[in-house]
Structure 1
Amino acid sequence: MTGSPRESAARWLRDFPARSALKFTNMRHVRLWLGQRHARALHRHRDALPGLAQGDAAIVEALDTNGICVTSLDRLALPGADALLAQAGALAEAFVEEARALARGGRDFIIVPPADIARHPDIYLWGLQDRLLDIAEAYIGLPVAYDGVAINYTVADGRAISTRKWHRDWEDRRVLKVAVYLHDVDAEGGPFEQISRHDTLQSDRGGFNYDLADDAELERILGRSPEKDVVSCTGPRGTVVFCDTARFFHRGKPATARDRAALFYSFFANPPRHPFFCERTGLSRAQIAGLASDLTGRQRAAALWRRQVPPLLRLIPRHSL
């Protein structure tokens, strides 16, 4: 997000604790110790992983292999899909003029106001269905945290900024995003894109580095052109993209002909490696507590994942959106 020098300085100071914590946990001896703890946790939980039906197991296999799987709400046949599209689509449609005004004003990352989602709890709760939690847990290998949902709005202005540049997400070693398109999305409508190349992966052994890159910068980082490894996810309204946005470079391709709105549901390990880079949807903790009040024990544990974060890490303010 752009701003005045004063605003930029205030943002830098606000985010300094989170960036310092990342730097500390990225020190070689610390990250190796964290990696050993993580490996032991994966081993302990292996026999408790949920069993999956054939179609859901295929999603996890595709994620393990290439970090991405494209399907649709119709094929998934999850309850509440029609209501989800209707409610979220209406919120996106009502937000069009505000989104375009924000883009003209220089806003880099545009989402439908989180308060609107909080007033439509079914949109948030859809991501807590047991099947989705099972898929996330089977892929991540541990009990999962649910970081909620945002409606991302991409204005068709062609700007390659913020999340429209190649990047990897910061929250954890593996981050499962489930995107649901609220518009028909073609090559000029801002499709989600990912580079399915395993030599781009990060780890506790090698460290975690987070760079924004355009095509030329990405070629420099990777050592060769990534063009043949790009998966561009076009599709009609209701297309669903399961993707790991931490292990693989990805972006929302700059939209040039049509705006694009999409739901993005987020899952990672409970607790995640970098809790200070989580809570990216803009929903407040009070709003989430209210939405989680009548859930099952498993759902509440996923939604209220911050309760599992070590007390010292809980003191670190969340990095700004």
Structure 2
Amino acid sequence: MTVYTDLTGRALTVIRRSLPKHQWDQFAEKIVRDRHDIEGHLREEPPLGHFNDLLADLRGRSHVQIPITLTNVEELRRYFDDQPVHKGANALSFDGRAKSLAAARRDFPLAAYSAESVIRAPGLIDVMNDPRLLHLIESYLGCVPTLYSVNAWWSFVAPKPEMTNVQFFHRDTDDWRFLTLFIYLTDVAADGGPHEVVPESHSLDGMNKLIKGIRFWRPKMDTERSFVDDMGEEFSRTCELHFKNAAAQLVGPAGSMHVVNTLALHRGIVPTRTDRLVVWARYGLGPNTNSADLERGPLGIRFVPTKLQGTPRDRYVNRLLMEFDRKVP
């Protein structure tokens, strides 16, 4: 049954990716309306200190900074310093040869950790499940979110971008509707490899508004095509020419967090002075072909340093990352 379920999921992904990305939200709305009644037992009232005042900016500008800061950055840095890494920015780029961080820094421009290393990191899963954060994401998505992907990777000081979409302007393609949480574990200034996003570029209306505001550039970008042909060095160069004044660089000290709709045009800028370590967590409507469980099955809860209690909501949000009832062998 698992094989057939996986094939069905991949088939739905192929169908979704055959549609222009600016149309995806129409289908997302149908999905979340269907979920409204069946997930009632999973929803919760807004927690104290909720972040709902950020919702309008997140919807309109594609990104917001979360007004909390990690308190155990040094502990996490020590933990990740001891974990093996691999070439590239995510599991899909893994070449099968894990290396020490020191060796990777010498040999690669980008190096990433396994999903398991991220899930086992002290306190990270609890940060990703902060009730205030989850409520903001739930309000944006329209349904209880699924935490489907986690990652941590280094961008090292380099003279030019790596030949990968990570450091060129692009759009992510994970789900019908999704959000990405970025957590900086190093201080990130303009020369430290900040995440860069073009505000409002996640929607066709936003793109049309951006293009309308460009007075002198010719030829102007075709906004609808930008949701189809949205990868590669040439596309990124066109984005730079059009949006260099509109793009926002998300800077901040170690421990700062940003939530971004990465359907918007975005990239990681190449660090020119200090290396950057960043964690991401992605939340969407359900499993997809970028789910962490495809790299490795969910971990038993005894391997995860977390304070989660295993409520129905905890189990649902984290079902692709952890199994709360796995027995000790």
Tell me whether the two structures share a fold, i.e. TM-score over 0.5: yes
Q: Tell me: CA distance 1:156–1:303, structure 2 relative to 1, closer, same or farther (3 Å).
A: same
Offset of residue 306 of structure 1: 9.3
The two structures, once aligned, show a CA RMSD in angstroms of 3.9
1:297 aligns with 2:301: no
The one of 283, 297, 310 aligned to 1:285? 297
In 2, Cα distance between equivalents of 1:90 and 1:114? 17
Q: Tell me: CA distance 1:280–1:304, structure 2 relative to 1, closer, same or farther (3 Å).
A: closer
1:56-105 Cα distance to aligned partner (Å, 9 max, x none): 1122211101110124424xxxxxx323x233222244469934533554
1:184 aligns with 2:187: yes
1:77-135 Cα distance to aligned partner (Å, 9 max, x none): xxxx323x2332222444699345335544x6522344433443532232123222211
The one-letter amino acid of 1:68's match is: H
Mapping 1:118-267, distance limit 5 Å: 118-120=119-121, 122-161=123-162, 162=164, 163-198=166-201, 201=204, 209=228, 211-214=230-233, 217-218=235-236, 220=238, 225-245=242-262, 247-267=263-283
1:182-207 Cα distance to aligned partner (Å, 9 max, x none): 111111110011011337659xxx79
Identity rate, percent = 18
Q: Tell me: CA distance 1:231–1:147, structure 2 relative to 1, closer, same or farther (3 Å).
A: same
In 1, Cα distance between equivalents of 2:47 and 2:35? 16
1:40 aligns with 2:30: yes
Q: Which has the higher helix share?
A: 1
SS in 1 for 2:289: helix
Mapping 1:44-63, distance limit 5 Å: 44=34, 51=46, 56-63=51-58
Structure 2 gap segments, 5+ residues each: 1-6, 86-98, 206-223, 323-329
Offset of residue 298 of structure 1: 0.6
Length-normalised TM-score, structure 2? 0.68
Instruction: Count residues with an aligned counterpart.
Output: 272
Structure 1 gap segments, 5+ residues each: 1-15, 75-80, 308-321
- 2:71–2:255 contact (8 Å) kept in structure 1: no
Offset of residue 249 of structure 1: 1.1
Q: Tell me: CA distance 1:171–1:223, structure 2 relative to 1, closer, same or farther (3 Å).
A: same
The one-letter amino acid of 2:280's match is: F
Length-normalised TM-score, structure 1? 0.69
Offset of residue 229 of structure 1: 1.7
1:150-203 Cα distance to aligned partner (Å, 9 max, x none): 22211112331221111111211332111121111111110011011337659x
SS in 1 for 2:123: helix
